[in-house]
Amino acid sequence: FTQGAAPRWGYRHGDSGSGHLTDEIDFKDYMEPFHGGKDSFFALSTVAHLPSGIQSTRLGMLTDSLNSVSNALCPASGPDGWSAWWVDESHPHRRAGREMLAFYHKYVLQNDATTGTALAPVTLAFVQGARFAVSRERILKRPRAYYEALLARVSKARDPLEGFFLEAMWHDIFHPERVQAAAPLCEYMPLPESLAAM
């Protein structure tokens, strides 16, 4: 869950000690019992459109001077709580967007739509740095074989590309009743016109 030290607020590009926490979330938020009958804690910090690989970042991770903050799943200010869409040509989501989309359908959704057909684009919101908490009951909603299949995909190399894929897919892995291929988790900034028609 953590990279050897308690995570902290903010993101600094290229700094492995960067916190990846958003808004006013603290490490203890992950350690407290879940509230309101929930059985997981995800505060989404990034969203990626596949297969294009463009991304948007939750503003609460970029600045600590927002008027409206939230440690909920989505930003308090709806679509205005996200940055404009941006692209990093060297990012794995950009370089391998089609492969990532196929991985999502085959291994996370477990559908066979990947055989010879065009896959519908999907927008995946996720917690950068894979910082989340889930209950035992939530984990057990999927059979052991499901997790073994995912583990097999990331066990073939020291730093597999599929590890980047999974970072963006943990919510859907643990919430099969609320996958993002069916409906977005939050309201985001509108996609660029060139992608909106996809």
Work out the pLDDT band at 1, boundaries 50, 70, 90: very low
- pLDDT the model gives residue 115: 61
Q: Which residue has the tokens 């294009």?
A: 52
For residues 131 and 170, give the distance between their C-alpha atoms in angstroms, rounded to a whole number: 10
Q: Per-residue pLDDT tens for 16-48? A: 555 556 666 766 777 777 777 788 888 898 999
The Cβ of residue 140 has, within 10 Å, a number of other Cβ atoms equal to 9
Q: Per-residue pLDDT tens for 87-101? A: 999 999 999 999 999
The set of residues, in sequence order, having a beta carbon less than 8 Å from that of 128 and lying 6+ positions away, is 11, 20, 45, 46, 61, 167
Phi, psi values for residue 175, rounded to 5°: -130, 65
- Note if the bond before 51 is cis, omega within 30 degrees: yes
For residues 56 and 49, give the distance between their C-alpha atoms in angstroms, rounded to a whole number: 9
The set of residues, in sequence order, having a beta carbon less than 8 Å from that of 96 and lying 6+ positions away, is 53, 161, 164, 165
Averaged pLDDT for residues 98-107: 95
